[in-house]
Amino acid sequence: MARKYSLLKQTLASLCFILALYAIINTLISSTATLKLDRSFPFDIANSVMVSDELDSQEIDFPNTSGKSVFPVKIYHYDVPTRFTFGVIEHHGIARGGKTIGKITELKYPGHQHMAEWFLFSDLLRPESERVESAVVRVMDPEEADLFYVPFFSSLSLIVNPIRPAAGSNQQQRKLAYSDEETQKALMEWLEKQEYWKRNNGRDHVIIAQDPNALYKVIDTVKSSILLISDFGRLRSDQASLVKDVIIPYSHRISTYNGDIGIENRKTLLFFMGNRYRKEGGKIRDMLFNILEKERNVIIKHGTQSRENRRAATHGMHTSKFCLNPAGDTPSACRLFDSVVSLCVPVIVSDRIELPFEDVIDYSKIAVFFDSVSAVKPGFLVSKLRKISKQRILDYQREMKEVKRYFEYTDSNGTVNEIWRQVSQKLPLIKLMINREKRVIHREVDKPDCSCLCANQTGIRARL
């Protein structure tokens, strides 16, 4: 028994020795591995916490998915002679019986449907601290600029001379007679002397021509620039396109409806008030008058621009479920934007219309579209509108209320900011075309090719 006990003690001692030896060897191996790891990753737990804290405290730039540029595009605002800005306002007033004043920069821009040129001009003159969330930033050094803005009140210039001269026009007013064509030519003479225009033939310049007839005399000279326009009604395919240009909204002339959505106070089914007789695509208006003026619960009136008619149109739009938006002399018309801010569902009858900001606005959610052929079938349009449910109308109104800021030029984050965002998105294409023109060989083409969207048809001679 004593022998077995002695043997057990020896066995236990051997096991203890082996375990102790294993522990010593394991400790040595672990220390060596830790040393190697420290050399590869030279930080300890404390340092790890500090690095994490630093990352938490830093502002990290992530890709912007809101549509706004993380780095605003730099734009240079030309200091053009006042002849092309406030001088146009002055002549507009004189032609209507006004008098010249000493400081023309204090003149007020007259209200009309093509006022975008004034709002963009004014925006770039504001301090940058007031230009919240704009996609462009004004730079004072043209060498820093990505784009160049040419401020010319081209739409106002077009209507300086009224159809009927002001009563009592005198000798002085006749001497101050204004010519839109001459002003356009003078602008181009001035612009073509500018170093930065000559550098890329104006391709990196932004020019507004909102009235469809604006700049008609010099449009071929500026067609390489980014044009801000209402539609393509008076422009050829080699002059403008969705690829390089920006469709912008009219300035609405109807007061904004500030009430909530609903149809209880909108007793009229369909409302229209405007000029019955138009040219070109607008001829459909007369046909629509003929088939709609006797329809029950439909108001369709002929009316021209006046304060009284504007008040009547405001009341009509604010108390109607649907507002008719037929083509004018060109595919677009101010009435569409009047309808949206009135929460009156637009009924668009214009086969060639282009709409602003379609990358962010789904117009099928705020408007009803009819092709021209179907719209003039007796009873067709009205019967379709009567079938639209109350809930669907409320859905249209709710969506209009969400997007109407895009059509408010006076909203601090409205139309102006959206126009600049659209312009900023053209910059990569402009840079591509500028570089492309440096190597393209002179070519003559009989038919439009892909370049007609963003380059002159006659081509560019390669520079040596």
Q: How far apart are CA 323 and CA 90, in angstroms?
A: 36
Q: How far apart are CA 449 and CA 456, in angstroms?
A: 10
- Report residue 121 as tokens: 């001009």
> What distances in angstroms separate CA 49 from CA 37, 40, 41, 44, 351, one per listed residue?
18, 18, 14, 9, 64
How is domain 268-407 classified at the CATH fold level? Rossmann fold (3.40.50)
Q: How far apart are CA 229 and CA 250, in angstroms?
A: 9
- Report residue 388 as tokens: 């639209």
How sure is the predictor about 338, in pLDDT bands with cuts at 50, 70 and 90?
A: very high
Residue 450, pLDDT above cutoff 90:
no
**Which has more pLDDT, 6 or 218?**
218
- Strand boundaries in 45-183, DSSP class E: 73-77, 136-138, 147-150
Torsion of CA 413, 414, 419, 420, to 10 degrees: -10
Predicted confidence at residue 102, as pLDDT, reads 80
Give the strand pairing for 320-326 and 268-274: parallel
Among 135, 107, 219, CA closest to 424: 135
Residue 93, pLDDT above cutoff 90:
yes
Q: How far apart are CA 385 and CA 383, in angstroms?
A: 5
pLDDT in tens, 234-249: 999 999 999 999 999 9
Q: How far apart are CA 67 and CA 190, in angstroms?
A: 36
Q: How far apart are CA 297 and CA 385, in angstroms?
A: 12
Give every strand in the sheet of 147-150, ordered side by side.
Answer: 136-138, 73-77, 147-150, 205-208, 226-229, 246-247
> How many alpha carbons lie under 13 Å from residue 407 in its C-beta half-sphere?
30
* Delimiting residues of CATH 3.40.50.2000 domain(s) in the chain: 268-407
Mean pLDDT of the chain: 84
- Report residue 278 as tokens: 């138009």
Angle between helices 116-125 and 415-424 (to 10 degrees): 80
Q: Mean pLDDT, to the nearest integer, of 244-273?
A: 96
Predicted confidence at residue 443, as pLDDT, reads 63
Among 364, 354, 89, CA closest to 228: 354
3-state secondary structure of 311: helix
Q: How far apart are CA 423 and CA 113, in angstroms?
A: 21
345: which strand partners?
Answer: 322
Least confident interval from 57-61, 109-113, 166-170, 445-449? 57-61
Longest Cα pair distance anywhere in the chain, in angstroms?
145
The answer to whether residues 78 and 85 touch, using CB atoms and an 8 Å cutoff, is no
**Which has more pLDDT, 176 or 179?**
179
Residue 91, pLDDT above cutoff 80:
yes
How many other C-beta atoms can be found within 10 angstroms of the C-beta atom of residue 182? 10
Torsion of CA 354, 245, 248, 233, to 10 degrees: -50
| Residue 362 host element (H or E) | none
Return the residue matching tokens 């990569």: 428
pLDDT in tens, 189-231: 999 999 999 999 999 999 999 999 999 999 999 999 999 999 9
Residue 284, pLDDT above cutoff 80:
yes
Least confident interval from 61-70, 145-154, 270-279? 61-70
Q: How far apart are CA 179 and CA 157, in angstroms?
A: 8
Residue 255, pLDDT above cutoff 50:
yes
Helices and strands in the chain, H and E counts: 17, 11
The answer to pTM > 0.75 is yes
Among 250, 305, 281, CA closest to 119: 250
- Report residue 383 as tokens: 């019967």
Task: Look at the alpha carbons of 229, 327, 341, 155 in this order and tell me if their dihedral is positive or negative.
Answer: positive
How sure is the predictor about 24, in pLDDT bands with cuts at 50, 70 and 90?
A: low
> What distances in angstroms separate CA 462 from CA 202, 437, 459, one per listed residue?
17, 7, 9
